[in-house]
């Protein structure tokens, strides 16, 4: 069983550009959540996908968008990058859709730097 993987590990972009980050969920997990972690802060929830549908969103503008594929892997897309988008982006997966709430497993993150 493999854990959550993310690619790329590091990324440098300039303001105004677009970026796509990728996440492979852990085997058997149908729910993927994305978080933004700025330096010195806790992770902030961006959105969540359950069985290819977005079913929860945090306080992030529409230029943050995502996808989940039939194999439950996911992408996070950010358009019109701003300097404040520089952060560690975390992906987490779990088996959703039932109670009790199952543990989320986090990936190692993608470090995005916007210049």
Partner 1 sequence: AQRVTQPEKLLSVFKGAPVELKCNYSYSGSPELFWYVQYSRQRLQLLLRHISRESIKGFTADLNKGETSFHLKKPFAQEEDSAMYYCALRDKAAGNKLTFGGGTRVLVKP
Residues of the shown chain interacting with partner 1 in the complex, contacts defined by CB under 8 A? 4, 33, 35, 40-45, 48, 50, 55-58, 90, 92, 96, 100-101, 103-109
Joined together, the tokens standing for residue 1 give 């069983």
Joined together, the tokens standing for residue 43 give 């992770």
Could you give the C-alpha distances from 76 to 7, 27, 31, 100, 101, in angstroms and in order?
Answer: 11, 19, 14, 27, 24
Residue-wise DSSP of 19-80:
EEEEEEPPTT--EEEEEEE-TTS--EEEEEEETTEEEEE-S--TTEEEEE-TTS-EEEEE-S
């Amino acid at each position: 069983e493999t854990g959550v993987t993310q690619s790329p590990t590091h990324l440098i972009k300039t303001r105004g550009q677009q970026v796509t980050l990728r996440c492979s969920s852990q085997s058997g997990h149908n729910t993927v959540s994305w978080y933004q972690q700025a330096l010195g802060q806790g992770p902030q929830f961006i959105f969540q996908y359950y069985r290819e549908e977005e079913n929860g969103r945090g306080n992030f503008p529409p230029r943050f968008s995502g996808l989940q594929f039939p194999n439950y892997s996911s992408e996070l897309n950010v358009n019109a990058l701003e300097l404040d988008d520089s952060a560690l982006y975390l992906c987490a997966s779990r088996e959703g859709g039932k109670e009790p709430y199952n543990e989320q497993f986090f990936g190692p993150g993608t470090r995005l730097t916007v210049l």
